[in-house]
């Protein structure tokens, strides 16, 4: 069995996370028991939710244990199998964590899934045709529930969730306006992803300015919003929301370092009789097959062209993750291990 490099959570952040919170180690890979599969990871998924799990406080998921491999999605190839459903060479996705190899109990529900890489690249199963894509699908279909002609907005529009949200919304005949950081990201959102418009929040550092930009981009108001960021962005969206607008609340990355995120005018939720619903996509396994089928079709048909930021090598994972939290990534953030 191969030696296995791993990254552990070595300490909990005090305020901002740092590279010092992680530790690179090497360990033996245990031999396989019956029903287990050895997977060589080709890609690691880095996602904003991981920052919340680094804390010890109450959240929607259990804290990442100290001294253990950082948990997260992986895509790779079966190296050895003692399970009848898997064979060496099978492309698979799972939750193997920040390490080169994982030993998986393949009978555990959702632990490992074979994927078809004929039309969808393996890495996309960690982004557009994986958890981020299904997150976008659930928020759009089950919470916002748009009708053709609705105006929808999404923060972090150039990222893995935002780009999938745009493609799904456009397929339903909606007008889609993104919010992203920087002119390059906004140009990508408009030109490559086909959004109707994109607002550069860095050009609008206060509520009045960002709200005015939203009013110009959404002259008929906002019927639905998908929130990944919170803070100033959500405040501005609430000011431009139409009566009975729906907000799918997926992430609050602006507060992941522990800063409180008070709303400037929460009374607007009542005034506009808005629906604001937070959700965790892993709590809704029943929608994954339908969502993945639609997302795979969008990619295969060229209607969803996701972008990826790829760091090379396991040791690069901590800095790539910290960059993701600062918005330095462009599209889905991955680490390539091969």
Q: How far is Cα 215 from Cα 77, in angstroms, rounded to an integer?
A: 48
- Structure confidence at residue 272 (pLDDT): 97
pLDDT band of residue 237 (cuts 50, 70, 90) is: very high
Q: Which residues make Cβ contacts (< 8 Å) with residue 66, sequence separation at least 6?
A: 9, 10, 11, 12
**CA 8 to mean position of chain CA atoms:** 21
Domains contained in the chain, CATH given: 3-127+306-336 (3.90.180.10), 131-282 (3.40.50.720)
pLDDT score at 134: 97
Residue 43 contacts residue 74 (beta carbons within 8 Å): yes
**Residue 107: per-residue pLDDT:** 93
SS3 of residue 34 by DSSP = coil
- CB neighbours of 179 closer than 8 A, spacing ≥ 6? 153, 154, 155, 156, 157, 198, 199, 201, 229, 233
Task: Report how far residue 23's alpha carbon sits from residue 12's, in angstroms, rounded to the nearest whole number.
Answer: 12
For residue 59, pLDDT over 80 is answered with: no
CA 233 to chain CA centroid, nearest Å: 18
- Name the pTM for this structure: 0.91
**Residue tagged 């920040």 (tokens):** 98
Report helix, strand or coil for 269. Answer: helix
Among the ranges given (117-121, 139-143, 223-227), the one the predictor scored with the smallest mean pLDDT: 117-121
pLDDT of 267: 97
Q: How many CB atoms lie within 10 A of CB 283?
A: 9
DSSP letters, 91-156, are EEEE---SBSEEEEETTSTTSEEE---SSS-GGGGGTTTSHHHHHHHHIIIIII---TT-EEEEES
What is the distance between the alpha carbons of residues 144 and 133, in angstroms, rounded to a whole number?
15
In angstroms, the CA 114 to CA 75 distance is 10
208: left (phi over 0), alpha (psi -120 to 50) or beta: alpha
Q: What is the pLDDT of residue 210?
A: 97
Look over the chain and give the mean of its residue pLDDT values, rounded to a whole number: 95
8 A C-beta contact, residue 298 and residue 304: yes
The per-residue pLDDT for 62 is 82
Quickly list H helices, 139-201.
Answer: 160-171, 183-191
Determine contact, residues 75/65, Cβ cutoff 8 Å.
no
Tell me the per-residue pLDDT of 173-217, one tens digit each, with 9 for 90 and over: 999 999 999 999 999 999 999 999 999 999 999 999 999 999 999
């Amino acid at each position: 069995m191969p030696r296995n490099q791993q990254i552990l959570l070595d300490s909990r952040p005090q305020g901002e996370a740092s590279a010092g919170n992680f530790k690179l180690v090497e360990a033996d890979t245990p031999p396989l028991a019956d029903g287990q599969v050895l997977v060589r990871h080709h890609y690691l998924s880095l996602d904003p939710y991981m920052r919340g799990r680094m804390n010890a406080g109450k959240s929607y998921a259990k804290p990442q244990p100290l001294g253990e491999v950082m948990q997260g999605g992986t895509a790779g190839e079966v190296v050895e199998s003692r399970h009848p459903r898997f064979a060496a060479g099978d492309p698979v996705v799972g939750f193997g964590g920040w390490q080169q190899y994982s030993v998986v109990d393949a009978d555990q529900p959702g632990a490992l899934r074979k994927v078809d890489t004929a039309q969808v690249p393996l890495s996309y199963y960690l982004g557009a045709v994986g958890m981020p894509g299904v997150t976008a699908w659930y928020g759009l279909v089950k919470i916002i529930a748009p009708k053709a002609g609705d105006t929808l907005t999404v923060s972090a529009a150039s990222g893995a969730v935002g780009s999938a949200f745009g493609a799904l919304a456009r397929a339903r005949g909606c007008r889609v306006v993104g919010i992203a950081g920087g002119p390059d990201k906004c140009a990508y959102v408009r030109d490559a992803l086909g959004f109707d418009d994109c607002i550069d929040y860095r050009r609008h550092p206060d509520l009045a300015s960002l709200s005015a930009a939203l009013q110009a981009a959404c002259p008929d108001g906002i019927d639905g919003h998908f929130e990944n960021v919170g803070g100033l962005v959500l405040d501005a969206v609430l000011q431009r929301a139409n009566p009975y607008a729906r907000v799918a609340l997926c992430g609050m990355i602006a507060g992941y370092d522990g800063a409180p995120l008070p709303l400037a005018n929460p009374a607007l939720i009542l005034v506009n009789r808005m629906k604001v619903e937070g959700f965790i996509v892993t709590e809704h396994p029943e929608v994954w097959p339908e969502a993945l089928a639609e997302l795979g079709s969008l990619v295969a048909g060229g209607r969803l062209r996701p972008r990826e930021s790829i760091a090379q090598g396991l040791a690069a994972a901590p800095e790539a993750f910290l960059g993701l939290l600062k918005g330095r990534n462009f599209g889905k953030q991955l680490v390539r291990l091969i």
